[in-house]
Amino acid sequence: MCNLYNLRVERWEYTDRFDAIDDPRNELVVEKTYAAPGKPGYVVREEDGVRVLSTMKWGFPTRKPRKRPAKAGELPFLYDWWTNARNLGNTMWKPWLLRSEHRCLVPFTRFSEPKAAADRSGPGDTNWWFTVEDQDAPCFAGVWKTDQDHDRVYAFCTTEPNPLVAPKHPKAMPVILMAEDHERWLGGSIDDVLQLQSGYPSQLMSME
């Protein structure tokens, strides 16, 4: 399950690339070149026919009780962040997929999948990294919503891994969109978007 990916920090790089306006409601700042669960990342969405670059937290949160009593100043619960959507018919994801205004593009530069212990060469060598070679700003197929705490959050879809990813992470890989499918993801029917849940061509990717 992909729970770490790299991105560009500067907003203008994405507003220019996607011909998008900067969302005036952006309150979060992307300060690091990576996104992790519960941390901010960029999404490109459509609002009233205009593309908008928004900053949101990565992951649909669910609350779980603490195993110990909360200390002073702590919340009585913890968050689990559902960052990846595999079963698109699930009630967590389907309502947002059905509404095209809640679909989004999630730009990235590369993404990781965890290494098996036998593949690690040292303590810090924990991930395989995958890059798309034929796009300068590849995107995951994402969805977003406003959560119970009034924060805007996003997640992206996963699918069966392609022949490059499968030997390293056989469970899944992110749904990466071909550039020509951006419009289809953002504005197509539910049948259109379900057809896009497939692995990116492995010959157009590399691994490090």
Q: What is the DSSP string of 151-182?
A: -EEEEEEEE---TTTTTT--S-EE-EEPGGGH
What integer pLDDT is reported at residue 1 of this predicted model? 66
- Sheet bearing 205-207, strands edge to edge: 34-35, 5-6, 110-114, 127-132, 205-207
62-99 per-position pLDDT tens digit = 866 666 676 776 655 567 789 999 999 889 899 999 99
Model pLDDT, residue 29: 93
Residue with tokens 């899944």: 172
Low-confidence ranges of the chain (pLDDT < 70): 1, 63-68, 70, 73-78
Q: Tell me the whole-structure pTM to 2 decimals.
A: 0.91
Kindly report, residue by residue over 162-180, the tens digit of the pLDDT: 999 999 999 999 999 999 9
Domain boundaries, the chain: 5-199
Q: Please give the DSSP secondary-structure letter assigned to residue 80.
A: E
CATH 3.90.1680.10 assigned to domain 5-199? The reply is yes
